Amino acid sequence: MSDSGCCRKDKAVLDPQLVDTWMRNTADARKLSFELYSKIADNITKNPNEPKFRSLLVEKIKEKLKAVKGGFEILKALGFTEAETHLHFLQDADIQRLNKGVDELEARHDPQMYQRKVEARLRLEESNRIAAEEKARKEAAKAKIKFQNEASRKNRSEFIPAQGSVANNLTFGARIEKFKPPPSCGPKGG
């Protein structure tokens, strides 16, 4: 499931009587249907604009949920609308509501697992908050150093006149002079 705000205490998405009906199923039937709801919600959450995840064949879903009392009705309560052959999660349907409804089922089906997920989400949120604060602190420190460096550079240029570079006076390579024969002692003769 997504980060759907599982910890909020606002109004329930699913009718409590529908959830009670679902809870009267066997543990295996609840597990099977919960895994299906969770997979559907995950696919829609991760791929919100992908039509293949937003449309389910009624025949296939009814077959998968035939042993689950209230199973098909839960999909409708999660935001799916039934057309002739398909259940559609319309583009304007609320994905957060879908995830919150799946969270409600998990909280009833496996409260310990749900609590562990809630705690893990809270730890992740806290970790992300700390990381964001640390990043902001580092960015502020970088900006301060940059400002100080620019101010220092500006102050130096105002008070210290620029000096010519020593490199301008350097010469490289050998001096080449035109060959001059050594003075001779006289003509060689004969």
Quick: pLDDT tens for 133-153. Answer: 999 999 999 998 988 888 887
Whether residue 155 has pLDDT greater than 80: no
Whether residue 161 has pLDDT greater than 70: no
* CA atoms of 95 and 53, how far apart (whole Å): 12
pLDDT at 44: 92
pLDDT at 158: 64
* CA atoms of 105 and 20, how far apart (whole Å): 10
Whether residue 160 has pLDDT greater than 80: no
185 pLDDT band (50/70/90 cuts)? low
pLDDT at 163: 62
Note the pLDDT tens digit of each residue in 42-80: 999 999 889 899 899 989 998 999 889 999 899 999 998
pLDDT at 37: 93
10 pLDDT band (50/70/90 cuts)? low
pLDDT at 151: 80
What is the share, in percent, of the chain residues with pLDDT greater than 70? Answer: 81
Note the pLDDT tens digit of each residue in 108-138: 888 887 788 888 888 888 888 999 999 999 9
Average pLDDT of the chain is: 82
| Prediction pTM value | 0.60
Whether residue 183 has pLDDT greater than 90: no
* CA atoms of 131 and 138, how far apart (whole Å): 11
